[in-house]
């Protein structure tokens, strides 16, 4: 009591004296009381009601008489609390308790409503945290349980504050508040819905706050898992991982649930490698993952069949029992990898385990297996699985039926698909949009476009009938069925499904494809889709481009692509590839290349299909520039990591190169080489591309090292063709053409291998076929000595030259880079001759 009073007294002394030692004072209050002893309006302008002033008569009277009644003191405390002056409230409270009043007694006498108003006031002032903490600490020190002091009304003001912070998105404030309240044993779950707090943390990408909040709950592990999962759903792997690490720190025993959750999240975020790292972390810590962790790991990595199988083995080795889900995931993995046989083996194994009672196949097992066969177009096997299923007493669900129908659709069996659809209805199955779509697609795949439209129309009509007149269902049902039976002589029960039909964007996309080349019909479908509140997706646009182009309207197709940009939709690779295909199909290679350049401008990466499509744009050789263009595409393709095994381009290059010979009197129409002679790993196209690059224009050196005869021939011809094109364009030859053959040990034959016969083949081509002059030019011997014009007897010349060189150095035979030189003069002569025999070329030059 004395202590409290002296503190109280010090609060009123002028600023010249020592600052008040009160530990209840927060900085703000301290400054106002120390700078002025005079009354002063509350610093918060919104706060109209003046605070309980330090000079108030109540306090003065208190100072005058220490021995006032308990009632008076509690009234005073309530009043102070009501005005939000909790420092003073605490002083009074402390003095009351110090005078021997039991905290619970004091508490009972306090006006709870005043406390509630005061709490609300303090919270409104915005200095929530420190004030609440100060108050609670003070209460605790006195021996009053803060929770006890908060009745329904004041708790409601806490709750209101929580809602306000939540609405404002003040995560830090809210979570700190929660921590404080939880520290005083408040049931924070009752103040604010935990999922709302977590959601706020997730939306603000604040995993730390979420974890801090979760730590206040007895079942924090479960909350950690939901935090990890929620971040995953937001595709925020980094935050999910932070939450996961925190979860690990907070639990003494490894939380398998958290492990499997983070692994699932890795899958959601597309980072399957990370899931492996996490799993390896478990193994490294000598912790055996449970079956859920293994299932999740296998599922996330199901695109990598070997990994999934390896994990399965590891799991067995560690003594973890695989369950049906584990096997289902393995089947899925096989399905993705299109490994039908392996899937069959696993399926057999499952059935064997089942016969032993170790396992029970479920609807997932059968549906997945049906999908395996559906993808492989093995519809009969798919139907067999259905029989297995029926004998095992497992009821097919919508997904099972859909997969079965899809199996027939993929095999082009419309009738069978419809039969299954009917069977499904008879069995009481409820088709959904996906199922309807599969059936429509079955018709489209089999080019039964009319049928697709008829089905669509009947389903739509049925849908509206059901919504308008449910009572007339039966009569209209029958008449409709009978009508169709008469027209088409089939039982068509699928027209009367009794299930509402809700078309989706996919439905419309499938139907748009069924429009064939009828652009206006496809366009009308797209409009209809929009009126139903469905939005066209990338597939819709690509299909529309395809239909438009297919109708012969290339400009229209490109226009659609452009309009996509204008409406803020980024066309995807497929939209561009489709447009490029249209250009190629309508023999507009320039447009195709323009679109190809455009897509790259928009940073849309071409894929294998795009490259293959664009490379078919030039089916016949044209100008050097055009060949260069194709070759540039080829090089990009290689750079992007696609296999360089393109038949079209090789053919194009070969044709273009051999074109050099077209005007020679021999070789008419006959290629000396065949494209099939190129090895699969051939660097030919790379080399040709290199030689034809404009940057290489002045370099007249051809390196034939490591090439086969056929390849060497193509390269030489390519360079000659380039020279010819340049010549026609007005660029004359400045130098000899140098051909590098390879290293040769002096006096010996060429190093045996692929280069065998290259020299002879090249010389034959140049001298015999083209009538050019060729010199041998070993780099060691120089022009005067080693160079020798080849005569008609090539072999003899070489032999003489070689034996002479050999005798010069009998003991040590150095390596020499063998070269050939084609003289500038003979090239000029050849070009001249070609101009004469090719009037078109002359026309080009004179223009």
Partner DNA sequence: ATAGGGTTAG
Give the rounded distance of the alpha carbon of 591 from its chain centre: 30
Q: Does 386 bind DNA (CB under 7 A)?
A: no
Count the helices and strands in the chain (H runs, E runs).
45, 5
Q: Which is nearer to DNA, 74 or 410 (CB)?
A: 410
170, two tokens: 């003040």
Burial class (CB in 10 A: 0-12, 13-18, 19+), 788: middle
In 10 A of CB 510, how many CB atoms? Answer: 26
Pick from 131, 178, 200, 329: which binds DNA (CB under 7 A)? Answer: 329
Total residues at interface with DNA (CB under 7 A): 69
Least distance to DNA, CB of residue 50, Å: 56
Pick from 399, 529, 685, 702: which binds DNA (CB under 7 A)? Answer: 399
Q: Does 296 bind DNA (CB under 7 A)?
A: yes
Least distance to DNA, CB of residue 584, Å: 8
Q: Which of 205, 211, 170, 213 is nearest to 188 (CA)?
A: 213
Q: Which is nearer to DNA, 90 or 604 (CB)?
A: 604
Q: Is the Cα torsion angle 311, 313, 319, 320 positive or negative in sign?
A: positive
Pick from 574, 595, 692, 720: which binds DNA (CB under 7 A)? Answer: 574
Least distance to DNA, CB of residue 46, Å: 48
Q: Tokens 């479960």 label which residue? A: 222
Pick from 125, 397, 686, 802: which binds DNA (CB under 7 A)? Answer: 397
User: What is the helix (H) or strand (E) element at residue 704, kind and residue range?
Assistant: none
Residue 775, strand partner residues: 789, 821
Q: Does 379 bind DNA (CB under 7 A)?
A: no
317-321 long-range contacts, CB within 8 A, separation 24+: 318/288, 318/289, 319/288, 320/288, 320/289, 320/290, 320/291, 320/294, 321/291
Q: Which is nearer to DNA, 81 or 515 (CB)?
A: 515
Number of residues written out for the chain: 847
Least distance to DNA, CB of residue 637, Å: 12
User: What is the helix (H) or strand (E) element at residue 793, kind and residue range?
Assistant: none
Q: Which is nearer to DNA, 94 or 445 (CB)?
A: 445
User: What is the helix (H) or strand (E) element at residue 502, kind and residue range?
Assistant: none
Q: Which stretch binds DNA (CB under 7 A): 153-161, 305-313, 521-529, 607-615?
A: 607-615
Q: Which stretch binds DNA (CB under 7 A): 184-192, 526-534, 602-610, 656-664?
A: 602-610
Strand order of the β-sheet with 774-776 is 701-703, 737-745, 815-822, 774-776, 788-789
Q: Which is nearer to DNA, 297 or 739 (CB)?
A: 297
Contacts of DNA in 425-484 (CB under 7 A): 431-435, 437-438, 441
Least distance to DNA, CB of residue 259, Å: 8
| C-alpha to C-alpha distance for 83 and 615, rounded to whole angstroms | 82
Distances (CA, A) of 731 to 321, 690, 826: 77, 20, 16
Pick from 88, 206, 264, 646: which binds DNA (CB under 7 A)? Answer: 264
Least distance to DNA, CB of residue 537, Å: 6
35: which residues sit within 8 A by CB, 6+ positions away? 15
Pick from 537, 553, 635, 779: which binds DNA (CB under 7 A)? Answer: 537
Contacts of DNA in 221-260 (CB under 7 A): 256-257, 260
Least distance to DNA, CB of residue 707, Å: 28
Least distance to DNA, CB of residue 658, Å: 25
Contacts of DNA in 608-667 (CB under 7 A): 608-610, 612-613, 616
Pick from 513, 687, 709, 724: which binds DNA (CB under 7 A)? Answer: 513
Least distance to DNA, CB of residue 284, Å: 20
Q: Which is nearer to DNA, 611 or 830 (CB)?
A: 611
Pick from 368, 493, 744, 755: which binds DNA (CB under 7 A)? Answer: 368
Burial class (CB in 10 A: 0-12, 13-18, 19+), 651: middle
User: What is the helix (H) or strand (E) element at residue 740, kind and residue range?
Assistant: strand 737-745
Q: Does 575 bind DNA (CB under 7 A)?
A: yes
187, two tokens: 């049931």
Pick from 157, 180, 242, 577: which binds DNA (CB under 7 A)? Answer: 577
| C-alpha to C-alpha distance for 111 and 91, rounded to whole angstroms | 17
C-alpha atoms less than 13 angstroms from C-alpha of 816 in its C-beta half-sphere: 24
Least distance to DNA, CB of residue 445, Å: 8
Q: Does 499 bind DNA (CB under 7 A)?
A: no
Pick from 124, 196, 221, 362: which binds DNA (CB under 7 A)? Answer: 362
Q: Do residues 305 and 336 make contact, with C-beta atoms less than 8 angstroms apart? A: yes
Least distance to DNA, CB of residue 282, Å: 13
Q: Which of 381, 363, 292, 371 is nearest to 334 (CA)?
A: 371
Q: Which is nearer to DNA, 95 or 610 (CB)?
A: 610
In the complex, which residues of this chain contact DNA (CB under 7 A)?
A: 256-257, 260, 264, 290-292, 295-296, 299, 323-326, 328-329, 332, 335, 362-365, 367-368, 371, 374, 397-400, 402-403, 406, 431-435, 437-438, 441, 504-507, 509-510, 513, 537-540, 542-543, 546, 572-575, 577-578, 581, 607-610, 612-613, 616
């Amino acid at each position: 009591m004395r202590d409290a009073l002296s503190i109280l007294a010090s609060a009123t002394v002028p600023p010249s004296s020592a600052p008040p030692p009160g530990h209840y004072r927060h900085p703000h209050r301290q400054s106002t009381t120390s700078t002025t002893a005079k009354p002063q309006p509350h610093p918060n302008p919104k706060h109209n009601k003046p605070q309980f002033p330090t000079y108030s008569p109540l306090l003065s009277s208190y100072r005058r008489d220490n021995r006032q009644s308990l009632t008076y003191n509690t009234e005073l405390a309530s009043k102070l609390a009501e005005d939000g002056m909790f420092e003073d409230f605490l002083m009074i409270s402390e003095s009351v308790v110090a005078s021997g009043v039991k905290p619970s007694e004091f508490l009972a006498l306090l006006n709870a409503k005043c406390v509630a108003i005061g709490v609300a006031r303090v919270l409104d002032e915005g200095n929530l945290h420190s004030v609440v903490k100060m108050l609670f600490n003070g209460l605790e020190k006195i021996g009053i349980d803060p929770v006890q002091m908060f009745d329904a009304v004041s708790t409601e003001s806490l709750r209101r504050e929580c809602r306000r912070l939540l609405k404002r998105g003040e995560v830090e404030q809210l979570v700190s508040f929660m921590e404080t309240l939880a520290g005083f044993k408040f049931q924070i779950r009752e103040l604010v819905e935990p999922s709302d707090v977590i959601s706020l943390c997730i939306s603000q990408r604040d995993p730390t706050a979420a974890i801090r909040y979760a730590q206040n709950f007895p079942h924090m592990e479960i909350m950690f898992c939901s935090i990890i999962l929620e971040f995953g759903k937001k595709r925020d792997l980094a935050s999910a991982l932070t939450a996961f690490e925190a979860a690990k720190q907070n639990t003494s025993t490894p939380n398998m649930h958290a492990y499997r959750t983070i692994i699932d999240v890795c899958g959601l975020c597309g980072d399957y490698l990370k899931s492996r790292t996490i799993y390896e972390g478990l193994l490294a810590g000598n912790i055996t993952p449970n079956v859920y962790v293994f299932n999740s790991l296998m599922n996330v990595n199901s695109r990598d069949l070997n990994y999934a199988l390896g994990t399965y083995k590891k799991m067995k080795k560690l003594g973890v029992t695989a369950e049906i889900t584990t096997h289902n995931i393995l089947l899925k993995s096989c399905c993705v990898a299109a490994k039908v046989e392996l899937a069959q083996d696993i399926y057999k194994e499952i059935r064997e385990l089942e016969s032993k009672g170790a396992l029970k196949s479920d609807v997932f097992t059968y549906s997945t297996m049906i999908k395996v066969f559906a993808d492989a177009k093995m519809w009969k096997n798919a139907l067999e699985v259905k029989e297995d299923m029926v004998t095992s007493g497992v009821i097919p669900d919508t997904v099972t039926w859909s997969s079965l129908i899809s199996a027939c659709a993929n095999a082009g069996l419309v009738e069978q698909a419809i039969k299954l659809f009917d069977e499904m209805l008879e069995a009481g199955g409820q088709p959904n949009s996906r199922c309807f779509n599969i059936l429509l697609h079955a018709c489209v795949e089999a080019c039964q476009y009319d049928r697709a439209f008829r089905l669509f129309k009947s389903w739509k009509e049925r849908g509206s009938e059901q919504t308008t007149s449910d009572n007339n269902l039966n009569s209209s049902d029958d008449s409709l069925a009978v009508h169709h039976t008469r027209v088409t002589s089939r039982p068509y029960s699928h027209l009367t499904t009794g299930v509402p039909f809700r078309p989706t964007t996919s439905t419309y996309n499938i139907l748009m494809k069924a429009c064939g080349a009828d652009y206006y019909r496809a366009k009308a479908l797209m409009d209809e889709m929009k009126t139903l509140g469905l939005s066209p997706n990338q597939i819709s646009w690509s299909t529309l481009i395809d239909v438009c182009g297919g109708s012969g309207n290339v400009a229209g197709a490109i226009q659609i692509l452009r309009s996509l940009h204008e409406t803020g939709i980024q066309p995807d690779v497929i939209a561009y590839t489709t447009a490029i295909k249209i250009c190629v199909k309508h023999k507009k290679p320039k447009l195709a290349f323009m679109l190809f350049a455009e897509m790259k401008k928009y940073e849309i990466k071409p894929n294998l299909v795009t490259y293959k499509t664009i490379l078919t744009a030039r089916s016949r050789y044209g100008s050097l520039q055009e060949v260069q263009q194709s070759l540039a595409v080829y090089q990009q393709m290689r750079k992007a990591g696609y296999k360089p095994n393109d038949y079209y381009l090789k053919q194009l290059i070969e044709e273009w190169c051999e074109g050099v010979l077209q005007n020679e009197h021999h070789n008419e129409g006959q290629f000396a080489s065949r494209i099939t002679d190129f090895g699969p790993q051939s660097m030919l196209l790379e080399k040709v591309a290199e030689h034809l690059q404009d940057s290489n224009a002045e370099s007249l050196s051809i390196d034939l090292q490591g090439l086969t005869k056929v390849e060497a021939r193509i390269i030489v011809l390519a360079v000659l063709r380039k020279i010819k094109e340049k010549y026609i364009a007005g660029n004359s030859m400045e130098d000899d053409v140098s051909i590098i053959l390879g290293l040769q040990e002096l006096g010996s034959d060429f190093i045996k291998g692929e280069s065998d016969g290259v020299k002879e083949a090249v010389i034959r081509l140049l001298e015999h076929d083209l009538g050019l002059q060729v010199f041998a030019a070993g780099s060691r011997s120089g022009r005067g000595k080693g160079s020798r014009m080849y005569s008609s007897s090539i072999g003899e010349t070489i032999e003489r030259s070689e034996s002479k060189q050999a005798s010069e150095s009998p003991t040590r035979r150095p390596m020499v880079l063998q070269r050939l030189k084609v003289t500038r003069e003979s090239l000029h002569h050849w070009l001249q001759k070609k101009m004469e025999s090719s009037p078109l070329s002359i026309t080009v030059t004179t223009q």
